[in-house]
Amino acid sequence: MKRIILFISCVLSIFGCSSDDTSEPINNLENVTNPKYTLKEKNEPNDLVYTQEYSIDEQGKITSESYTNFYNPQFSYLSTFEYNGKGQVIKEIRDGSTNFTITWTNNFAEVYNMQNQKIAEFNFDGERLNEYKTEFNTNNVRIRKLNYDSNNNIISVENEEEIFVEFLDYELPKRNPLNLIQSIGILRIDYNPFFKNIFRTEKVYPFEGDDFSQPLTFYEYFYEFDSENRVYQIEDEKSLIYTSEFEYE
């Protein structure tokens, strides 16, 4: 999404267990019905960049999303979502108009924009997202393949050629708060909604491009928790200038 200032790899962590730990995660978000996500300026915590408030039904499906952009109010919106009989999202209605439609063939989803152009496709194995392709409406289709550990946590992502990023030091008792929006995850893929638990380290492989290059880099993530041991605040070495904050009702 063009207004996403932060690639929310804020998919979290602290003092982690390794991804080989087989203990059962504590689902301390199971009764949440109205989560709220806020992005703030790190050095000016009273300066809000945007907020996103969600409503969740009894089946754990997102029914609405209210996005408020404080820097560019013209980008604010209210979306509602429709599902088929299998609980798969099939439509996003934004400010009264259809924004995205999704067609499903078993566990294969195709996403179309308001001009009825195909923009993405997603392959699932049950609820596990295995592969997706985006940017069909450009000349540069992006392919991503996801690799999992035995706890169903994403441990690495491949492009069409090789692994380019790994996620390390998962803490299994801590659930990723953005996993709450998994039911609309194919429409909010940059939020990392398919990451189940939180991780401490993101390992980005070296990259050599025409315009820039990047060495092997490790980004650390730092978290604060509320009184119920849920992720409350996130800062990380990747975004640097922003703080992410979560509230739960």
pLDDT tens digits, 116-128: 999 999 999 999 9
Classified as helix, coil or strand, 150 is: coil
- Provide the residue type at 101 as one letter: T
Q: What is the pLDDT of residue 214?
A: 87
Task: Check if the beta carbon of residue 39 is closer than 8 Å to that of residue 49.
Answer: yes
Q: Which residues contact 30 (CB under 8 A, 6 or more apart)?
A: none
pLDDT of 103 > 90? The answer is: yes
Mean pLDDT of 150-174: 96
Token duo for residue 41: 């300026």
pLDDT of 9 > 50? The answer is: no
Q: What is the pLDDT of residue 100?
A: 98
Burial 162-174 (b: 16+ CB within 10 A, else e): eeebbbbbbbbbb
Q: What is the pLDDT of residue 207?
A: 85
pLDDT tens for residues 176-222? Answer: 999 999 999 999 999 999 999 999 999 999 987 777 788 999 999 99
Mean pLDDT of 65-91: 98
Pick the residue with more confidence: 8 or 110? 110
Strands of 32-76 (E only): list them. Answer: 36-41, 48-56, 62-69
Q: Using the 8-state DSSP alphabet, how is residue 93 labeled? A: E
Task: Check if the beta carbon of residue 143 is closer than 8 Å to that of residue 164.
Answer: no
Q: How confident is the model at residue 27 (pLDDT cuts 50, 70, 90)?
A: low
Q: What is the pLDDT of residue 238?
A: 92
pLDDT of 248 > 70? The answer is: yes
Q: How confident is the model at residue 22 (pLDDT cuts 50, 70, 90)?
A: very low
Q: What is the pLDDT of residue 25?
A: 46
Q: Which own/partner pairs from 125-133 qualify as long-range (CB within 8 Å, at least 24 positions apart)? A: 127/182, 128/152, 128/194, 129/185, 129/186, 129/194, 132/186, 132/189
Mean pLDDT of 80-106: 98
Token duo for residue 20: 């080989």
Q: Alpha carbon of 188 to those of 43, 64, 205: distances in Å?
A: 27, 13, 24
Token duo for residue 108: 């294969």
Give me the torsion for CA of 63, 37, 77, 86, rounded to 10°.
-20
The whole-angstrom separation of Cα 173 and Cα 127 is: 20
pLDDT of 4 > 80? The answer is: no
Q: What is the pLDDT of residue 23?
A: 46
**CA atoms in the 13 A half-sphere facing the CB of 205:** 12
The whole-angstrom separation of Cα 14 and Cα 200 is: 5
The whole-angstrom separation of Cα 243 and Cα 99 is: 29
Task: Spell out the CATH class of 36-247.
Answer: mainly beta
Q: What is the pLDDT of residue 26?
A: 52
pLDDT of 3 > 50? The answer is: no
Give the residue extent of every domain in the chain.
36-247
User: Pairing state of beta strands 213-214 and 207-208?
Assistant: antiparallel
